[in-house]
Amino acid sequence: MQKLGRANIVKKSFTNRLFLPVSNAPLIIFRIIFGFLLAYHFSSSIVNGAVYNNFIQPAFTFTYIGFEFLQPLPGNGMYYYFGLMVLLAVMIMLGAWYRIAVIGFSILWTILYLMQKADYNNHYYLMLLLCWIMAVLPANRLCSVDVKRKAVPKNKHCSYYCLWIFMAQVAIVYFFAAISKIDSDWFSGKFIEIQFSRLSSHHLLGIFYGQKWFRLLVCYGGFIFDLLIVPLLLWKKTRNYALIFSILFHLFNSFTFRIGLFPYLSIALNLFFLDAGLVNRLFFGLHQSVQQVKNEIVCSEVKKKVLYLLGIYLFFQAIIPTRSWFFPGNVFWTEEGYRMSWKMMMRTKSGKIHFKITDPTTHSTWIEDPAKKFNLSQIMWLSISPDIIWQYAQRLKKEYAEKGINNVQVYAIGTVRLNRSNPMPMVDTTVDLASVKWKPFRHSEWVTAFKDGD
């Protein structure tokens, strides 16, 4: 009974702490950095050709299954789409018409995310989650256009849960990233050796990147970082050292792996682990007394609603990454439960594929080469992703039906290499994919088992 009572006290104490007022400086600074990074990313996508290659050039995009109706706008429509997202990102950064901007951006980003699966990245998923988190938080109450135009009252504090939700999200990402690294290809250094191939032959950098001991240091160091960085950031005695190590770690990743804005986004998220008052003094030079912010009272009904929403959100964030555990086989091969599971920098795949279409009535046969319709990036995703292969088979069935050739049989023929293993068929070439039903919660029997011949 005494232990139960103590547990209830701890639980109640933590719940109360979530609603204590703290300086909102971390949230405000993160809003500015986040808006800038979003604007930079989407404007770069226009300039570097990503918009054209992923949304304009292809005849259609591979959406998440069930969202096939989400297709790119015709003509130059996607340039305007991305341009609007850049504008909204700038508005987020400035805190101008913030609620409209962040919700509008989140909706557009969600549509874009679901529209093109052949450009999947765990980092894009994290950006999407952060957008929706920011959409419900009061991140425009300081250093914003909205305050200057008196659309919202100026406020130097927020409830602690506004900062804690980011810490919880980061903890989930790092935890599953660490769990995913418990893999032979990771600890043997095989995957890192592949990733280092670009730099290992460099006349200067190769001194380190070409050495096995350095690769193993990165492998084990990466695992330990993912596993311990959040506890070390939370513990006051190790926080400063963890912060420095986190910055160096992500800068190393940015230089080595060229993974876009994720390292800088991760560095910015460290703000939420720092003392909010310290962040306030560092960026705003303000000293805020506790008495000034203790007058705000949050009613019990609001507390309950916030706690329920936090609980539901974090429950799904903890469950979704475990999907791959319930499917047989190597998830990096089958891709079943791979997306949204924080399996970052864990595999490299390459392959080639074509499709054989057969008319069972006339016994006529056609060969479809996707390389004639798609660019190299989309061919790569099509050849290595079982669900995209299935989607394309359904598309071919529909296209032939429109030509008056009904009930064709579609067979995928190709080979795939996982982490430079021997090439082998990933899809059973004897299975008519046109007649296969998609079962998202069951293993697809037509996906072959991975056998590492190395």
User: Do 95 and 137 form a contact (C-beta atoms < 8 A)?
Assistant: no
Residue 296 included in any domain: no
- CA–CA distance, 172 with 130 (Å, rounded to integer): 13
Q: What is the pLDDT of residue 2?
A: 46
- Mean pLDDT in residue range 75-98: 97
Residues 6+ apart with CB under 8 A from 115: 55, 61, 63, 67, 70, 71, 72
pLDDT at 86 over 60: yes
Residue 376 included in any domain: yes
Q: What is the pLDDT of residue 295?
A: 44
Which tokens is 419 given? 């982490």
Model pLDDT for residues 31-63, shown as the tens digit of each residue: 999 999 999 999 999 999 999 999 998 888 999
- CA–CA distance, 40 with 26 (Å, rounded to integer): 21
Least confident residue range of 7-16, 286-295, 423-432 = 286-295
pLDDT at 85 over 90: yes
Instruction: Name residue 300's amino acid.
Output: S
Residue 91 included in any domain: no
pLDDT at 4 over 50: no
Model pLDDT for residues 350-377, shown as the tens digit of each residue: 999 999 999 998 989 999 999 888 888 8
Count Cα atoms within 13 angstroms, Cβ side, for 320: 16
Positive or negative, the CA dihedral 118, 122, 123, 128 is positive
Q: What is the pLDDT of residue 448?
A: 95
Residue 285 included in any domain: no
Residue 394 included in any domain: yes
Residue 397 included in any domain: yes
Q: What is the pLDDT of residue 292?
A: 46
Residue 393 included in any domain: yes
- Average pLDDT of the chain to the nearest whole number: 91
- For residue 429, give its domain range: 348-435
Model pLDDT for residues 250-295, shown as the tens digit of each residue: 999 999 988 889 999 999 999 999 999 889 998 887 665 544 444 4
Instruction: Name residue 371's amino acid.
Output: A
What's the 3-state SS for the chain?
A: CHHHHHHHHHHHHHHHHHCCEEECHHHHHHHHHHHHHHHHHHHHHHHCCHHHHHHHCCCCCCCCCCCCCCCCCCCCHHHHHHHHHHHHHHHHHHCCCHHHHHHHHHHHHHHHHHHCCCCCCHHHHHHHHHHHHHHCCCCCCCCCHHHHCCCCCCCCEEECHHHHHHHHHHHHHHHHHHHHCCCHHHHCCHHHHHHCHHHHCCCCCHHHHCCHHHHHHHHHHHHHHHHHHHHHHHCHHHHHHHHHHHHHHHHHHHHHHCCCCHHHHHHHHHHHHCCHHHHHHHHHCCCCCHHHHCCCCCCHHHHHHHHHHHHHHHHHHHHHHHHHHHCCCCHHHHCCCCCCCCCCCCCCEEEEEEEEEECCCCCCEEEECHHHCCCHHHHHHHHHCHHHHHHHHHHHHHHHHHCCCCCCEEEEEEEEEECCCCCECCECCCCCHHHCCCCCCCCCCCECCCCCCC
Model pLDDT for residues 315-348, shown as the tens digit of each residue: 999 999 999 999 999 999 999 999 999 998 888 9
Residue 415 included in any domain: yes
Domain count, the chain: 1
Q: What is the pLDDT of residue 199?
A: 86
Model pLDDT for residues 232-249, shown as the tens digit of each residue: 999 999 999 999 999 999
If we measure between CA atoms, which residue out of 451, 398, 442 comes closest to residue 423?
A: 451
User: Do 388 and 118 form a contact (C-beta atoms < 8 A)?
Assistant: yes
Query: Which residue's entry shows tokens 């088992």?
Result: 449
Q: What percent of the chain has pLDDT over 90?
A: 75
Which band of pLDDT confidence, cut at 50, 70 and 90, is reported for residue 453? low
Q: What is the pLDDT of residue 16?
A: 84
